[in-house]
Amino acid sequence: MTVVSKEAPDIQAADEHRPMVARYEYALALGLLVAGAIVTWVRVPADHRDRVWAEDANIFLIQAIERGPWSVLFEGYAGYQHFVPRAVVALIFPFFDLAAYPVLVFAICSVLTGAVAAAVYWLARDLVPWIPARIGLAGITVLLPLATQETIGNLADIHTYAMWLTPWLLLYRPRRWSTSVGWAVVTLVAVLTEIQSVFFAFLLLFGFRKADRRKLPIFAAFLIASTAQLLTSVFVQRTTGEGPLSIPSTVMGWMINTVMPIVTGNPQTIRQWAIDSGMTAAVMILVPVAVATVVVLAFGTGGQRLLAVTLLLGSAATYTGSAWANSGFWFDYAAEPLADLGIRLAINIRYGVASGMMLVAVVVIALAVLHKRWGRYLVVRALVWAACVAVLVVLAHGSTTAISIRNQVETWSPAVIAATEGCAARDPDDAVTLPVAPNRSVDLTCAQVLSLQRR
């Protein structure tokens, strides 16, 4: 008796060809990881990598020193869990010396960013089967201009990449249970690092068909991590903003901090655009996104339509949630003159990074749809290829205009070396102050400095 599998045909076909495809795509994914890490590493000047960023010193390092790195692994901060930063500090704590801390963190974060790029490439293969489009999605991960300013190379902002990765994890269709368990671990880690990932819970409603049963470990991991994040938000105090912003201020803020930085990372350019023509530049940038949305909704598969809607909603939710949670006059764009951008009003705020990635991804998905539907025509195929390359060129060029604001303080390693030399003749309980970007500092005792330098 012949048993006919009830699994979805696309999954069956993928399983039949898996050995050949896997060998090819594993190599490509590994190449994207390496390339993504290198691109991230070189996006800032060398001396900017020798500066510790914000919570990397003021929270993750100092708490690990004072209380032990493993004891604070699930310590909530600012109302949510930060698993990846705390896990990285715990893993490197026994082996690094204090002077090398920022460079080591930047290197690790560069590799993690490359890994996210490779993961998105891999996870998108059912919904975006055209390989150049998936390479484009990986490119978005490491080339978005706004990320240069402060997001890349530090543990404090690595949650941005967890947010970007989450919808791809939830929409992925594993071929094997072992694969599903592996991605479930990644899901657990990602959601335990970014509380806003909980927003994508609605995607669970679309994964309970029999053909999707291998998604269950990923979904279970998502629910466990989401529960942990929500409980942390209830029991860990957070200094909140001034409440929800007005809709006009929210929309304008999204355009200024998400849309405009897609094509340039220079805040002065964005400021001038806004002063000269209001939101016109943002509207022009949104035109291809709007056209891409129509293309996907009209000609894409059901899964591609769900993906496009998810990313558009995610873009809006990521920026809105962050801005409302940290609201103040600096986000009240509709009430203040746009000439105050960069003075009283925030510009190029990091909340636009994951939001911008999701927005640009819709364009790349539309190109994959066009290639699938009309790629047999040479002209269409050439135009789609050119457009896919153009997306990456625009992002890469925009990245060359971006600035890193890490140089607002002195470099870390000379300060640590000077503190070490000074502490040799001082009381162990004497305090030394080390520079932390942006415009912060951290105090350690001489005993702590000397013990960490002697590792």
Q: State pLDDT tens for residues 321-380.
A: 999 999 999 999 999 999 999 999 999 999 999 999 999 999 999 999 999 999 999 999
User: CA 58 to CA 345: how far, in whole Å?
Assistant: 26
Is the separation of the CB atoms in 37 and 111 below 8 Å?
A: yes
Q: Are residues 449 and 360 in the same domain?
A: no
As given in the structure block, the two tokens for residue 176 are 């094997």
The total number of structural domains that make up the chain: 2
Residue 208 has pLDDT above 90, yes or no: no
Packing angle of the helix pair 267-277, 280-299 (nearest 10 deg): 100
Is 2 a domain residue?
no
Contacts of 419 (CB under 8 A, 6+ apart): 432, 434, 444, 446, 449
Predicted pLDDT at 7: 39
Residue 197 has pLDDT above 90, yes or no: yes
Buried b (16+ CB within 10 A) or exposed e, 441-455: ebebbbebbbebbee
Q: Are residues 294 and 439 in the same domain?
A: no
Q: Are residues 372 and 436 in the same domain?
A: no
Is 1 a domain residue?
no
Residue 441 has pLDDT above 70, yes or no: yes
Neighbouring C-alpha atoms within 13 Å toward the C-beta of 43: 37
Q: Are residues 325 and 420 in the same domain?
A: no
At 120, the pLDDT band (50, 70, 90 cuts) reads very high
Q: Which amino acid is at 74?
A: F
Nearest to 79 by CA among 238, 185, 207: 238
Predicted pLDDT at 3: 39
Q: Are residues 429 and 395 in the same domain?
A: no
Is 264 a domain residue?
yes
Q: Are residues 175 and 104 in the same domain?
A: yes
Q: What is the pLDDT of residues 392-438, one digit of tens each?
A: 999 999 999 999 999 989 999 999 999 999 998 899 999 999 999 99
pTM summary value: 0.93
Q: Are residues 281 and 416 in the same domain?
A: no
Q: Are residues 222 and 87 in the same domain?
A: yes
Identify which of 77-81, 242-246, 352-356 has the greatest average pLDDT: 352-356
User: CA 282 to CA 277: how far, in whole Å?
Assistant: 10
Cα-only R_g, the chain? 23
Domain boundaries, position 157: 9-408
Q: Are residues 190 and 249 in the same domain?
A: yes
Q: Are residues 324 and 308 in the same domain?
A: yes
User: CA 412 to CA 99: how far, in whole Å?
Assistant: 7
Write phi, then psi, for 425 (nearest 5 degrees).
-110, 15
At 22, the pLDDT band (50, 70, 90 cuts) reads low
Q: Are residues 328 and 444 in the same domain?
A: no
